[in-house]
Amino acid sequence: MQIKLKALFFHHLMQLNHFIDFTELAK
């Protein structure tokens, strides 16, 4: 369960990273 939670958190972190990159490109 702990590993699954950590993987889920990492996945959201990666998505946030891509979102920030996208907003930087949109400027």
11-24 tens-digit pLDDT: 999 999 988 888 88
pLDDT value at residue 20: 87
d(CA 8, CA 13): 9
DSSP 8-state code for residue 1 = -
Q: What is the pTM of this model?
A: 0.52
**Strand, helix or coil for residue 23:** helix
Whose tokens are 């990159």? That residue is: 21
pLDDT value at residue 1: 75
Is 26 a residue whose pLDDT tops 90?
A: no
Domain encompassing residue 22: 1-27
- Give the Cα-Cα-Cα angle 18, 27, 25 (nearest 5 degrees): 35
Is 25 a residue whose pLDDT tops 90?
A: no
Q: 16: phi > 0 → left, psi -120 to 50 → alpha, else beta; which?
A: alpha
Is 8 a residue whose pLDDT tops 90?
A: yes
How many independent structural domains does the chain possess? 1
